[in-house]
Amino acid sequence: MDTTDKQKKEFSAEDKAKNEKRPGKSRVIVSVTGMSCTTCALAIEKRVKKMNGVTDVKAAIMLNKVFIDYDPNFVDSAAIRKAIDKTGYKSHIAVEET
């Protein structure tokens, strides 16, 4: 294999690595109206944890907030909010970090 073939091979491998989707990490904090007990919080956590791309969910009852870590390559914050709304609570995005 001569030098130019070797460089082409290295270049194409480098390009491939750059273009691959890599696991990302984002966090969203969702305010939830009506989450007043542990059962409420567990229902929300259970629903959101089932979503592909969600890596961690913590509901804070006293703050009426849910803290969610997720991979934006698989799920977005709007879908997460909709999942919370399907549990019967009203929610809105308080903070979104990427």
pLDDT for the residue 17: 42
Average pLDDT, the chain: 84
Q: What is the side-by-side order of every strand in the sheet holding 54-60?
A: 54-60, 65-70, 26-33, 90-97
Q: What is the pTM of this model?
A: 0.74
pLDDT in tens, 21-55: 456 899 999 999 999 999 999 999 999 999 999 99
User: What pLDDT shows up at residue 14?
Assistant: 47
Which helix (H) or strand (E) segment holds residue 90: the answer is strand 90-97
Query: Mutual orientation of helices 38-49 and 77-86 as an angle, nearest 10°?
Result: 130
CATH of domain 37-98: 3.30.70.100
In sequence order, the 6+-apart residues with CB closer than 8 A to the CB of 45 are 57, 58, 59, 66
